[in-house]
Amino acid sequence: MDIPKEKHVSSWRQHGFVVYPKAVTNFYVLRYLQWLIRGGTNAAYSTHHQSLWDIRMYKPVYHAFSEVLGDQALMVSLDPKETTKIQGRVCLQSNSPQKINMCDLIIFDAERCHLDLDLDLDAFWLPLTMIPANEFDDVTIQERVQYWHAKPFQTYLSPLGCKLLGLKSWEPNLP
């Protein structure tokens, strides 16, 4: 086990959360913020906007969730009803650099670590959560895929993105 991974696992076990500094590049965060400023939050199918998928498909983000959840076969949570107790947030803006920085990813266990990042007035957070793929049944996966196909704009998904959405199966080839 390498030292950073050991440090993350230790923080997870001891505190119920782990911070991955600069897990997302500034480019992705700034592009997402620009989309939000132009009114992106009210757009239909906003969960499938390219900026969000680029952040979700970014390998360091995927690897962080894979490390914490102990599973390589993951799917992105697109709906709060899908979200389990393990949650993730990407810091989009922070006014208190001694705590957390823009582009940092925090993954926390909502039952063990009572963080209410939505009430943190010093930071602006993007909810970003991944769940083990085995928590999804076939009907839910089909609904997700149909919703994705119904969107009015094109979105590029990498092979990892196709698996994170449910368009392709994780078996037999894990990343």
pLDDT tier at 1 (50, 70, 90 boundaries)? very low
Q: Would residue 172 count as lying in a domain?
A: no
Q: Would residue 174 count as lying in a domain?
A: no
- List residues bridging with 130 in a β-sheet: 76
Q: Which domain does 143 fall in, by range?
A: 3-165
H/E stretch holding 9 reads helix 3-15
pLDDT tier at 112 (50, 70, 90 boundaries)? confident
Kindly state the average pLDDT of the residues 116-142.
80
pLDDT tier at 28 (50, 70, 90 boundaries)? very high
Q: Would residue 175 count as lying in a domain?
A: no
Cβ atoms 88, 105 nearer than 8 A: yes
Dist CA 21 CA 11 (whole Å) = 14
* CATH, residue 91: 3.10.129
State which amino acid sits at residue 87: Q
Dist CA 75 CA 66 (whole Å) = 10
Q: Would residue 114 count as lying in a domain?
A: yes
Query: Checking phi first, is residue 156 left (phi over 0); if not, alpha (psi -120 to 50) or beta?
Result: beta
pTM: 0.86
Number of structural domains found in the chain: 1
pLDDT tier at 117 (50, 70, 90 boundaries)? low
The confidence score (pLDDT) of residue 171 equals 76
Cβ atoms 48, 155 nearer than 8 A: yes
The confidence score (pLDDT) of residue 163 equals 95
State which amino acid sits at residue 175: P
For residue 72, pLDDT over 90 is answered with yes
